[in-house]
Structure 1
């Protein structure tokens, strides 16, 4: 017989990401962040390859990256409004965790499965932050896919990529819920 955890299920059924622009100080300290990162690192990882890693960005790093976003956006000819929106995501943040997808060479575990594992880490980190009482939002944006930005700004290697950037802080207010998927429309039951 299963041993249910109604509180955990209720949390998952009602969890809500907090818009990054509404996150403010105080931000999680290293001590606050350690159990959140520990929970995220318990994500499914076939082969125990740990095909991901974390980069914790503090205020000064986020300011530096905001400037790099502006420079890269201009160099790439991106629309100025789009550049500014992305720049402000970094400039307005006080703490963010980059989840880096770092697939390992493996005969047993396909690279795509390792990339999915990094995505699971992003969700687990977001949920662990929310369960700890912090606001959290998983955002990437165009800069996270620009090789020069990620290699110069974040120090990623040539085979690494950003799986997600999780912004954390104290929510200014509780966001309203949004419409959720129609379960009947996205579920197929196969009995035979």
Structure 2
């Protein structure tokens, strides 16, 4: 097997990716220049038709806590019988990591040339690339969604348009622990050869 120069180092970086639970992310987070550097790498994803079907929404500082209070109010409206533990979880959902980047998928139904699923996959690729970029910059990160990513009132509060969706909330910060490795699937067991009938 021939491996190009530096390829093993790059593959090792891909192999070392770990999600750090949002509850285990703390300050400091990346500064503005580092955020932009991470985003510069994150936008280098496959994009059929060059649509750029995504945008970013930064949730940081006091905005994280304000969003938590909006989640609590919405959770109570959705379920008046909701328990204190669930409300506390929602209140702090965005407060652990110092930075949350919402990757917003733009899915304009007027764009019939490129299937919607391909545009959504592009936005998902951005989420994964941002996880890699955060780790490359020395931070921990986690890709989450949860009910707020699908609730129309929360999406409206975040300023999403009618044809936008949350591809992921990427929580970024300094890890309080080294995330353990978990068992990964064996690619050889997943690979099949297609044979013409």
Query: Could you state the TM-score of these two structures normalised by the residue count of structure 1?
Result: 0.92
Deviations for 1:149-176, whole angstroms, at most 9, x for unmatched residues?
A: 1111x11111111100001111112111
For residue 36 of structure 1, what is the aligned residue in structure 2? 38
In 2, the alpha carbon distance for the partners of 1:92 and 1:161 equals 23
For residue 166 of structure 1, what is the aligned residue in structure 2? 170
1:157 aligns with 2:158: no
SS at structure 2 position matched to 1:99: strand
1:181 aligns with 2:170: no
For residue 63 of structure 1, what is the aligned residue in structure 2? 65
Instruction: Give the deviation of 1:2 after TM superposition.
Output: 6.7
Rg comparison, structure with higher value: 2
For residue 141 of structure 1, what is the aligned residue in structure 2? 146
Change (3 A) 1:120 1:21: same
Structure 2, gaps ≥5 residues long: none
SS at structure 1 position matched to 2:168: strand
1:98 to 102, 110, 113: 102
RMSD over aligned CA atoms reads: 1.7
Instruction: Give the deviation of 1:187 after TM superposition.
Output: 2.6
Structure 1, gaps ≥5 residues long: none
SS at structure 1 position matched to 2:173: strand
What pairs up with 1:6-155 in 2 under 5 angstroms?
6-77=8-79, 79-80=82-83, 81-104=85-108, 105-152=110-157, 154-155=158-159
Query: Could you state the TM-score of these two structures normalised by the residue count of structure 2?
Result: 0.90
Instruction: Give the deviation of 1:6 after TM superposition.
Output: 1.1
SS at structure 2 position matched to 1:91: coil
